[in-house]
Amino acid sequence: MERIKELIQINRSYRRFDNSKDLDMGFLEDLIYSARMAQSAANLQPLRYVTVTDREKAAEVYSTLGWAGYLKDWDGPEPDERPVGYIIILSTKDSSYAQVDAGLAMQNICLTAIAAGVGSCILGNIKKERLMQILEIDESLNILYVVALGYPVENVQVVSIREAADHKYFRDEEGNHYVPKRCIEDLIIKEL
Ligand SMILES: Cc1cc2nc3c(=O)[nH]c(=O)nc-3n(C[C@H](O)[C@H](O)[C@H](O)COP(=O)(O)O)c2cc1C
């Protein structure tokens, strides 16, 4: 398989990591380099980033996040499986395309990370006011998303949505995580 397709295939949302394996700040800076290279509407580049590798700060960031809403019996990763790094995506308040820019930047971040064997999860379920306080962010910026990072310790697989009950991801008894994706035939509505 071409390398880019292989990376896209394994670029899943990982939510359990080896908490004993640190990431260094230089690695997170590399990820921001990839974010910097992303397309940006009108090239306004409204995004800003906070990078976190400090253990105490990481624990504070973790406390603001909501994990895997569809897994009702799971409250998020246990301490030894929590992320070891975070990138917080912020935007200046004057940009109407910041959400699109954030999507593109996060995809570059996640693909660059997985190319180095580092898994990620984009999180939008955030106690934003609390996280603003923790990071001491002033009112000129909005928090959009958090990207959690670490070396994955879970098996995440794509399955056809036709073989699943619906679109909701699920786990089996061994803890394998399955992500139903729609079939190509259901996505392309016309080929002209
Ligand atoms: C904008 C956005 C917000 C997300 N927010 C959360 C979140 O708050 N918590 C979480 O556990 N996963 C979150 N996810 C991950 C999705 O649940 C995940 O992308 C989806 O289940 C498909 O799995 P996949 O990424 O492995 O393809 C988010 C993903 C995106 C793109």
Query: Which residue, by CA, sits nearest to atom 26 of ligand 1?
Result: 12
Concatenating the DSSP letter of every residue in 94-128 gives T-TTHHHHHHHHHHHHHHHHHHTT-EEEEE--B-H
pLDDT score at 190: 97
Residue 115, domain extent: 3-154
45, 64: one domain? yes
Phi-psi region of 187 (alpha: psi -120 to 50; beta: other; left: phi over 0): alpha
Query: Which residue, by CA, sits nearest to atom 31 of ligand 1?
Result: 122
Give counts: helices (H), strands (E), the chain: 6, 7
The response to whether residue 179 sits with its C-beta less than 6 Å from ligand 1 reads yes
99, 190: one domain? no
173, 148: one domain? no
Residue 171 belongs to domain with CATH number: 2.20.180.10
Q: Which 3 state secondary structure label does DSSP give 185?
A: helix
72, 38: one domain? yes
pLDDT score at 1: 62
- Residue 63 φ/ψ, nearest 5 degrees: -65, -10
- Residue 2 φ/ψ, nearest 5 degrees: -55, 145
Domains held by the chain: number: 2
- Residue 92 φ/ψ, nearest 5 degrees: -65, 160
The response to whether residue 45 sits with its C-beta less than 6 Å from ligand 1 reads no
CA 157 to CA 80: how far, in whole Å?
A: 22
Q: What does each of the 192 residues of the chain score in pLDDT, given as a tens digit?
A: 699 999 999 999 999 999 999 999 999 999 999 999 999 999 999 999 999 999 999 999 999 999 999 999 999 999 999 999 999 999 998 789 999 999 999 999 999 999 999 999 999 999 999 999 999 999 999 999 999 999 999 999 999 999 999 999 999 999 999 999 999 999 999 999
91, 179: one domain? no
106, 185: one domain? no
Radius of gyration of the chain, Cα coordinates, nearest whole angstrom = 17
121, 172: one domain? no
Query: How many whole angstroms from 144 Cα to the centroid of ligand 1?
Result: 13
CA 87 to CA 145: how far, in whole Å?
A: 8
CA 149 to CA 52: how far, in whole Å?
A: 10
Query: How many whole angstroms from 120 Cα to the centroid of ligand 1?
Result: 10
